[in-house]
Amino acid sequence: MTRHLHLNAFLMSTGHHEASWRLPESNPFANTEVEHYRELARIAERAKFDSIFFADSPVLLGDIGRRPAGSLEPTVLLTAIAAATSRIGLIATASTTYNEPFNLARRFASVDHVSGGRAGWNVVTTAGPEAARNFNLSDQPAHAERYERAAEFLEIAFKLWDSWEDGAAIADKAAGVWGDNERVRPIDHLGRHFQVRGPLNLPRAPQGYPLIVQAGSSEDGKGLAARYAEAVFTAQQTLADAQAFYADLKARTSALGRDPDGIKILPGIVPVIGSTETEALALERELDELIKPEYARAQLARTLRVSPDDLPLDQQLPAELPDEDEIEGAKSRYTLIVSLAHREKLTVRELIGRLGGGRGHRTFSGTPEQVADAIQDWFDQGAADGFNIMPAVLPSGLVAFAEHVVPLLQERGLFRREYEGTTLREHYGLARPVGRTSSLQEATA
């Protein structure tokens, strides 16, 4: 059977390039305008993308001079988009560190109900002390602690989503019995981080569970992904690194007794598309020249946990940097950036240019054919099950990908021409979780 690749559109205000908002074509207030996102979703749906996705963190970070700041809460935004679309999956990021499992499990189940089975949840543990300070803490919980809480949070969510059996609402009008009490049961969870009685106050959702997505590539992150994730977003700069990550995560998944096909690995790619390679490179250069380095340097300093003064623009990174082990924040992103700078001996200014497009994700500039080749190359060589498409400029970069790259992928037999199913799980070729069965069904099974 031919493998088909999966495409997710990672949407962000005027695009992933930090200077995209400065282009004449860009609406700099798009970050709070629902119609902007509805239009992007319609473009992605016409191109038969599996899903759209919003990143999120419950904190305002950095300098708001730099680029459009602040964003609509993703479950709200995706619900607003659901009504304007009918098939495309809707993946929202939400934190297990700064939410309660009951509330979040219910919210995702609600999005799944209102969208007819199109909800996905990108599970994050939210790095950084800044977010912690919005939630009664002076610093973030330790990295391992956050991942331990995330695992327990997910276990509770699964139990809550299964707390109603399918068909528990029997609606017998004549007998005056709406629901079957035997088929809706408390979960009585008592763990290290949480105590949750349940059941959920919502019948089981169309997909059973939302699609579980994970994007942390640290050791803890890969552990969580291998155990629970069904799709993984990852930042990989080279084919070799991507192949190693892919093989590692599939092996970890198998080792836990899961089917490695049940976890779809989607590296990020920032495609900058031109009708010629020269045109694409010119657009990339135009964007990079609009970057104001002082903003980017301040963010780089925050990621590296050093002072901006330690990062002169025309020198390489300082020799003395923390080990990944000392980083309690976004560990894998930290390592990726330091490796990139060291491997290519980049100055701070050059590094900033490389990070400006995709914050560590791979930028690829070229013609539609070149972009399609780059995608097929990684897909064929065991580096990816699909891609997280991160247009540098929105909507134009998504339009270019949808109109010029997707048809090539379709012609090559790599990508669907029509949706086959209606739910997000069906797009990714994943089964609906079975859920609980009644004691009667268990007895006769």
Q: Does residue number 146 form part of the binding site for its own copies (CB under 8 A)?
A: no
**C-beta separation of 118 from 112 below 8 A:** yes
Tokens of 176: 């005056």
Residues with Cβ < 8 Å from 126, sequence gap 6 or more?
A: 57, 58, 59, 95, 96, 97, 98, 140, 146
In the bound state with its own copies, the residue whose beta carbon lies nearer, of 169 and 281, is 169
In the bound state with its own copies, the residue whose beta carbon lies nearer, of 130 and 220, is 130
Q: Does residue number 285 form part of the binding site for its own copies (CB under 8 A)?
A: no
One of 142, 177, 431, 440 touching its own copies (CB under 8 A): 177
Question: Is 112 annotated to bind ligand?
Answer: no
**Which residue's structure tokens are 């949480």?**
194
Contact window for its own copies (CB under 8 A) among 72-80, 145-153, 279-287, 381-389: 72-80
DSSP state of 199: -
State the maximum Cα–Cα separation within the chain, in Å, rounded to a whole number: 80
Question: Is 147 annotated to bind ligand?
Answer: yes
Q: Please state, as a whole number, how many other Cβ atoms lie within 10 Å of the Cβ of residue 15.
A: 27
In the bound state with its own copies, the residue whose beta carbon lies nearer, of 27 and 376, is 27
Q: Does residue number 111 form part of the binding site for its own copies (CB under 8 A)?
A: yes
Q: Does residue number 439 form part of the binding site for its own copies (CB under 8 A)?
A: no
Return the residues of window 83-102 that contact its own copies according to CB under 8 A.
83-84, 98-100, 102
Nearest distance from C-beta of residue 393 to its own copies, angstroms: 13
**C-beta separation of 16 from 10 below 8 A:** yes
Within its chain, how far is the Cα of 151 from the centroid? 17
In the bound state with its own copies, the residue whose beta carbon lies nearer, of 202 and 321, is 202
Contact window for its own copies (CB under 8 A) among 110-118, 120-128, 390-398, 424-432: 110-118
Return the residues of window 287-326 that contact its own copies according to CB under 8 A.
290, 292
Contact window for its own copies (CB under 8 A) among 145-153, 174-182, 306-314, 424-432: 174-182
Distances (CA, A) of 247 to 49, 254, 282, 293, 427: 25, 11, 36, 36, 23
Question: Is 143 annotated to bind ligand?
Answer: yes
Distances (CA, A) of 90 to 53, 77, 111, 225: 6, 10, 9, 19
Question: Binding site membership for FMN: which residues?
Answer: 56, 93, 143, 147, 217-218
